[in-house]
Amino acid sequence: MSPETLRKWLRQARALDGHWYAKYWNPVMAPLPGHIREAIDLGPQATPLSLGLEDAATLTDAGYHDLESGYATFDDGSIHIATLTSMPRVTPAMWDWWFWWHGTSTERYKLWYPRAHVYAEWSGADTAPDALTATGTSAGLAFWLVSFLTCRDATL
């Protein structure tokens, strides 16, 4: 681990001081699953295989899309990243809680993936968590995320 990476992780760990969830901080990450490593090795895929932002709502449709694990870059500079993730026995309520909990603070978001997650905030930060509590669902809510898409120190 480079000294620069160690300093970054120490700063992130210090940001958790005083929070009950600080005990879950662990910058040691599991290796990427094989199908994700293969998708990265393939490089960018043809844009007709991927979804544009205007098609994002189709992610909840039944069945699979042409690009389930991989990425594509568009002419406008935007990127579609897809990662097929098996989540057996996860209920919609668990899903809602997970995104609500991690979206309520940057420190919580960093716990999820400390090498890449930088910042999280609900769009309409003062109302989104209350809306989730009131409705019981995150459907229709949005939050802003900042993540590193690559990391010099990561071994793929």
Looking at residue 156, its pLDDT comes to 33
The C-alpha atoms of residue 54 and residue 77 are separated, in whole angstroms, by: 15
- Average pLDDT score over the chain: 79
Looking at residue 129, its pLDDT comes to 60
Check whether residue 2 and residue 60 sit in a common domain.
no
Check whether residue 25 and residue 71 sit in a common domain.
no
The C-alpha atoms of residue 22 and residue 107 are separated, in whole angstroms, by: 9
Check whether residue 112 and residue 82 sit in a common domain.
no
- Domain that residue 156 falls in: 1-29+90-156
73/2: higher pLDDT: 73
125/91: higher pLDDT: 91
Check whether residue 112 and residue 150 sit in a common domain.
yes
Last-in-domain residue among 39, 63, 86: 86
Looking at residue 147, its pLDDT comes to 81
The C-alpha atoms of residue 68 and residue 34 are separated, in whole angstroms, by: 14
**Contact (Cβ atoms closer than 8 angstroms) between residue 115 and residue 151:** yes
Average of per-residue pLDDT across 45-57 = 88
Rounded to two decimals, what is the model's pTM? 0.67
Looking at residue 133, its pLDDT comes to 61
Looking at residue 16, its pLDDT comes to 79
Average of per-residue pLDDT across 77-105 = 84
